[in-house]
Structure 1
Amino acid sequence: MRTPDRYSVLVIILAMVPAWHATAIQDQPQQEAAPKKEQAEEPLAIPAPEGMPQQIHEAIQEGIQVILSMQEGPDNAEWPYEGVYRVRGRIPIGYRVGGTGICGEAILRAPGYEQDPARQEAIARATGFVTGAIELNLMDPEYRGGYDVRGWGYCYGLRFLLAMQMLDRVPPGQEQAVAKAIAFYIDAMEKTDIPEVGGWSYSRRRGLDTPSPTSPFMTAPCLQTLYLAQQQGHPVDQDVIKMAIKALQDSCNRQGNVMYSAMDKAPAGDDSIPGAVGRMVALESALNLAGKSSPMRLNRAVEAFIEHWNELEKRRQKNGTHEPPYGVAPYYFFYAHFHAAQAAQMLPEQKRLEAHKRINELLFSVREKNGSWNDRVFKRSANYGTAMSIMALLQPYQASPPGAVDAVKAPADGADA
């Protein structure tokens, strides 16, 4: 057999490049975080919006610089969320799309975007990644089920693109890709809701076509994302929304405690409330936007978050997930902060101001020296923690989130209970 000459070897290598590129988006990033990039230029001096305290404004601006410095991946287009879950040893695509969406939304919403080319360039790259991910097999909503986190990519990838549309900040030339991806993600969320039960869960061990327990932790933000989609004129299946609302209602007992997962009515008793506070504020916010909560219930959830915050803090930046006695996982920490701030914003004015003050004090008490926030043991997950903290701080200074359409907003029985 003739030994290949240099030209033949080169041809073989070049022929392999398209196949390598097609898999690169799924194979990257690696498990270890990329080294933090140095900023090429001093960040722009962005004046504080009227009414925003300087401390909060400066923290937001410093946090945005942290997030910008952490963008990574083959095209420097991603902010992957890093947790303990891996697929073949790598961060799953759902976490990569979802994390990118969360960080991208924080950048879009923070003051200074229109004046800062660096933010616009970062968002343009991230948009290409989030819209391109719809072509990947591991983002296909037609799958067997099991433990799978692609739904987080649907939810937060969609939120990112909807925020971009709402704020009129779609990168030039990407309008069609954004519209196509929005339609894909809405359809994917509709196809993956839980039959007969409603809502969503990343643990579908019985298969997608079989009823299984809903996850309030996942269902609340998914529901809010679909509210935002329909507010912006995108068609959304109202039966999916109605079933998700019912699933959340069934997950909550009269004491306000929210089950970790549920198929039936939650039992009475509130002994596990310290482990449920993140779910409580998320659930009451989502239900309130559908006219199915009340100021009393919202306030109860916010007060529970503040009262039992130390149980969250005990698990921040710790190993493991659902540790006894309350099953608190580290990843609840900034998720809970964001939803607590959102719930606080729905309270009557006096309670709202006091709640934001107390929530912000707690948030600043765990801010890192470099201006980031992180609730995991992984350095990379500071991108997520910082983005969620920024959006929590922004709650009093932005328009209220959209609610459900009138067809599903009729007050439920016991809404004031």
Structure 2
Amino acid sequence: MPKLCLVVAVMVLAVPVHLLAQETTAEVSLSPLATTGPKPAPITPPTQADVKASIARGVRFLLDDQRPEGAWGSAEQTKDLNIYAPVPGAHQAFKTAVTGLVVMALVEAYPTLDEATQHEVDASLDRAQAWMLKHAGGVRRAEMDAIYNTWGHSYGLQGLVRLYDHTPESDTETRARLREAMQFQVEKLDRYEYLNGGWGYYDFDAHTQVPGSSPNSFTTATALVALKEAEDVGVEVPRAMVDKAITSVERQRYPDFSYAYGEYLRMRPRYPINRPGGSLGRSQACNYALAVWDRPEVTEEVIKTWLNRLYARNGWLSIGRKRPVPHESYFQVAGYFYYYGHFYAALSIKLLPEDDRPYFQDHLAHILLPLQEKDGSWWDYPFYNYHQQYGTAMTVVALTRCLHE
């Protein structure tokens, strides 16, 4: 770790926890930068029928792509450019994360589908549920330096929440098993939370049992969203774990509500990846995570400003889409932030007043519909055999949130 990063880490760890809590709970006056920014050009909105048709094509791709054992994704399509992923742990985590996301997509798309497709989805979810209950509990830290299991715990947890919601209340036995599985994933997130709060997916420094490296703002946001959903269905979530994670994300936030890539970069606000163009994907996730945990600084105007910024400056994310090398694009954007950012943007729209949503829903659908591939999928970064699955799942969820109520 560079010397600057060590100094920052020492400074963070030296601050008493009660002072950090005071800092984040005090009244905060927002900078004008938080609620000013570019706005997108006017569009001709896609029809609601077009959105539903696109969702149906995405669902068809996911149904046809399910593995025989009930999961989605695999370690196939290897190439020299694939990221470091020690076997078998990394791929167990990736498969669990992708399967959780696909389950989320199928459950959320369910009301938009015709009866015949709903029957197919029910059968698919039964197979996915059996796989998750059998295998998701096996996700662990792959190596001392690779903590990809964070993704499996987080998105696996969201998938389990959707299965729980989709299961009839009368099926108490299945719901009890799903609740137990959710509690296990919560406990693992607690176990792998970083020393100074939040989560990341690497620990290249100390290789300690409690990860001592730098948490990432977006990984932490991902986990916080999953934990809130679990809490909302009655799963016990340790508040101390959540508070440390929230404080980590808030330490990484700049006055304009860009977020640092990770705590090790938070003292470099003009570093390209930390600037608004580099934070387009992260800001949506971080804002949403803090909002659902009732942080008052994330106001409706902040959410609207960053949705408009995502739409108006979408090119900065889009240039990186499908590039095979992480962070090779402008503002050091990696391709895998594209659908990730739009996924959390869609979730954020639901936090706005109902009358304000159609404008933001239409702009999001206008961006996503033309990017659908001929086979019905969406993908943004070549990643073994997981990219079409997570890209399609995230986009299907996003498009379900673009339907007017």
Interval containing the TM-score (normalised by the shorter chain):
0.7 to 0.9
Who is 1:406 aligned against?
none
- Confirm whether residue 340 of structure 1 aligns to residue 345 of structure 2: yes
Question: 1:78–1:129: 8 Å Cα contact kept in structure 2?
Answer: no
Who is 1:41 aligned against?
none
Who is 2:121 aligned against?
119
Who is 1:276 aligned against?
279
Q: 1:81–1:349: structure 2 CA closer, same or farther, 3 Å change rule?
A: farther
Who is 1:154 aligned against?
153
Task: Report the CA distance between 1:203 and its aligned residue.
Answer: 1.0
Who is 1:259 aligned against?
260
User: What amino acid maps onto 2:277 in structure 1?
Assistant: P
Task: Report the CA distance between 1:166 and its aligned residue.
Answer: 2.2
Task: Report the CA distance between 1:376 and its aligned residue.
Answer: 2.3
Who is 1:12 aligned against?
none
Deviations 1:277-316 (A, max 9, x none): 1100111111111222112221222122112211211111
Task: Report the CA distance between 1:169 and its aligned residue.
Answer: 5.5
| Aligned residues with identical type, % of pairs | 22
User: What amino acid maps onto 2:276 in structure 1?
Assistant: I
Who is 1:230 aligned against?
231
Who is 1:54 aligned against?
49
Who is 1:407 aligned against?
none
Aligned partners of 1:71 and 1:373: how far apart in 2? 16
Who is 1:243 aligned against?
244
User: What amino acid maps onto 1:382 in structure 2?
Assistant: Q
Task: Report the CA distance between 1:190 and its aligned residue.
Answer: 1.0
Aligned partners of 1:285 and 1:223: how far apart in 2? 9
Aligned partners of 1:311 and 1:321: how far apart in 2? 14
Who is 1:78 aligned against?
72
Who is 1:375 aligned against?
380
Aligned partners of 2:341 and 2:71: how far apart in 1? 27
Q: How does 1:122-201 map to 2 (within 5 A)?
A: 122-136=124-138, 139-140=139-140, 145-168=144-167, 174-195=174-195, 197-201=196-200
Question: 1:77–1:122: 8 Å Cα contact kept in structure 2?
Answer: no
Deviations 1:28-62 (A, max 9, x none): xxxxxxxxxxxxxxxxxxxxxxxx91111111111
User: What amino acid maps onto 2:366 in structure 1?
Assistant: E
Who is 2:309 aligned against?
304
**How many residues end up aligned between the 2 structures?**
343
Who is 1:39 aligned against?
none
Larger RCO (alpha carbons 8 Å, 6+ apart): 2
Who is 1:109 aligned against?
108
Aligned partners of 1:241 and 1:363: how far apart in 2? 32
Aligned partners of 2:324 and 2:66: how far apart in 1? 25
Aligned partners of 1:349 and 1:321: how far apart in 2? 37
Aligned partners of 1:249 and 1:114: how far apart in 2? 45
| TM-score of the pair, normalised by structure 2 | 0.77
User: What amino acid maps onto 1:377 in structure 2?
Assistant: P
Task: Report the CA distance between 1:380 and its aligned residue.
Answer: 5.0
| TM-score of the pair, normalised by structure 1 | 0.75
- SS of the aligned residue for 1:331 comes to helix
Question: 1:80–1:96: 8 Å Cα contact kept in structure 2?
Answer: yes
Who is 1:394 aligned against?
400
- Confirm whether residue 355 of structure 1 aligns to residue 357 of structure 2: no
Question: 2:164–2:179: 8 Å Cα contact kept in structure 1?
Answer: no
Question: 1:200–1:215: 8 Å Cα contact kept in structure 2?
Answer: yes
Question: 2:167–2:174: 8 Å Cα contact kept in structure 1?
Answer: no
Most deviating of 314-323 and 266-275: 266-275
Aligned partners of 2:71 and 2:114: how far apart in 1? 17
Question: 2:326–2:333: 8 Å Cα contact kept in structure 1?
Answer: yes
Deviations 1:204-223 (A, max 9, x none): 22234253322112111210
Aligned partners of 1:367 and 1:219: how far apart in 2? 29
Deviations 1:395-417 (A, max 9, x none): 25599xxxxxxxxxxxxxxxxxx
Aligned partners of 1:174 and 1:287: how far apart in 2? 31
What value does the CA root-mean-square deviation take over the aligned residues? 2.8
Larger fraction in helix:
2
User: What amino acid maps onto 2:48 in structure 1?
Assistant: P
